Structure 1
Amino acid sequence: MMTLEDFEEAEGESAAPIEMLENYFSAHGWAYDRNADDEIVANVKGSWTEYELRGVWRDEDRVLQFLALPDIKVPEEKRSAIYEAIGLVNEQLWIGHFELWSASGILLFRHAALLEGDEPAMSLTQTETLIESAIDECERYYPVFQFVLWGGKTPREAIAAALIETQGEA
């Protein structure tokens, strides 16, 4: 098992995408499962909810799909409002995007990393950026989706309420 110190000392090193995700999850002490050589799933507790983190490697395309699934399932009657909220949120993102799976109503954050070469590898920096940006965006926008789903707010009201910049600490 890799420790966080081991992982941090590995700066400049690279590994196959799923192996690098496994090293990161292990170093942080997060529970994970390797479903196959090309897929890994971890669970991590955030401030608002627990997130399922899923990495899926598609060798034929040289693409790593990284998904962060907050525990949000959207009922049919709220989907049009959530689609609007997703559109407004995605306008603000530089990396990755939120989407709603129409068949199941599951909300998720997804990012794809294209890795070139015969032996595609991810660096420590790429791995940290991929995982941390996904978790950060989920944490940042989770309240927006909750305000729309359960707070009776419009998507614009939810964004305004959730993204208030606070000064100092309480």
Structure 2
Amino acid sequence: MRVDDYEAGREASAPIEMLEQYFAAHGWPHERTGEEEIAATVQGSWTQYELRAVWREDDAVLQFLALPDIRVGTDKRAAVYETIGLINEQLWIGHFELWAASGLVLYRYATLLGQDSDGETGLTMEQAETMVDAAIDECERFYPVFQFILWGDKSPAEAIASALIETQGEA
């Protein structure tokens, strides 16, 4: 991110505009899909993520979604639902879901945004960065768990244990 862009974004602005500034500053492909919605793509360590944000002005809620490239067939859905339950127990903010209609796994995070003294609701660059980073970090952390379920035929507990081994020292 360029310093000028960061400094310009220190003040709160409309949530979708702020996310647009954030995506542009990182050079991520993005597009406004409506007045209150934006989508971007970013390459992670494991896969490419589709990032989506939807602003609900009436409720002052910004919903943020990160969609890793994970589709679950009907034969693996029970295991993935169990896995999502175990993963969500470990999360402080946001949660994973499996959309039944499409079989897509996604990470969802929503935040209530307060109003300033002028009655305007805004998002700061720091809030945008925290939200986006948290979504990508959680997807990166748990992507291997889903792969162990889908391709490695591991149980949910085995998949989590295998994927979340913390390394000690340096190789």
Same fold (TM over 0.5): yes
Q: Which amino acid aligns with 2:122?
A: A
Q: Which amino acid aligns with 1:79?
A: R
Q: Which amino acid aligns with 2:164?
A: L
TM-score, structure 1 length as denominator? 0.95
Distance in structure 2 (CA, Å) of the matches to 1:109 and 1:72? 11
Conserved? CA contact 1:6–1:27, under 8 Å: no
Distance in structure 2 (CA, Å) of the matches to 1:97 and 1:4? 31
Q: CA RMSD in A?
A: 1.2
Q: Is residue 104 of structure 2 the alignment partner of residue 106 of structure 1? A: yes
Corresponding position of 1:28: 26
Once the two structures are superposed, residues 69-124 of structure 1 have per-residue CA deviations (whole angstroms, 9 ceiling, x without a partner) of 00001000100000000000000000100000011100000000111223110112
Superposed displacement of residue 138, structure 1: 0.1
Once the two structures are superposed, residues 15-37 of structure 1 have per-residue CA deviations (whole angstroms, 9 ceiling, x without a partner) of 11001100100000000000111
Q: Secondary structure at the match of 1:15?
A: coil
Q: Is residue 67 of structure 2 the alignment partner of residue 66 of structure 1? A: no
**Which ranges of 4 or more aligned residues in structure 1 deviate by more than 6 Å?**
none
Number of residue-to-residue matches in the alignment = 168
What are the residue-to-residue correspondences of 1:42-121 with 2, within 5 Å? 42-117=40-115, 118-121=119-122
Distance in structure 2 (CA, Å) of the matches to 1:169 and 1:74? 35
Superposed displacement of residue 169, structure 1: 4.0
Superposed displacement of residue 49, structure 1: 0.2
Q: Which amino acid aligns with 2:76?
A: K
Corresponding position of 1:38: 36
> Closer, same or farther in 2 for the Cα pair 1:63/1:92, shift >3 Å?
same
Corresponding position of 2:5: 7
What are the residue-to-residue correspondences of 1:151-162 with 2, within 5 Å? 151-162=152-163
Once the two structures are superposed, residues 45-86 of structure 1 have per-residue CA deviations (whole angstroms, 9 ceiling, x without a partner) of 000000000000111111111000000010001000000000
Unaligned runs of 5+ in 2: none
What are the residue-to-residue correspondences of 1:129-148 with 2, within 5 Å? 129-148=130-149
Conserved? CA contact 2:145–2:160, under 8 Å: yes
Distance in structure 2 (CA, Å) of the matches to 1:13 and 1:60? 22
TM-score, structure 2 length as denominator? 0.94
> Closer, same or farther in 2 for the Cα pair 1:11/1:41, shift >3 Å?
closer
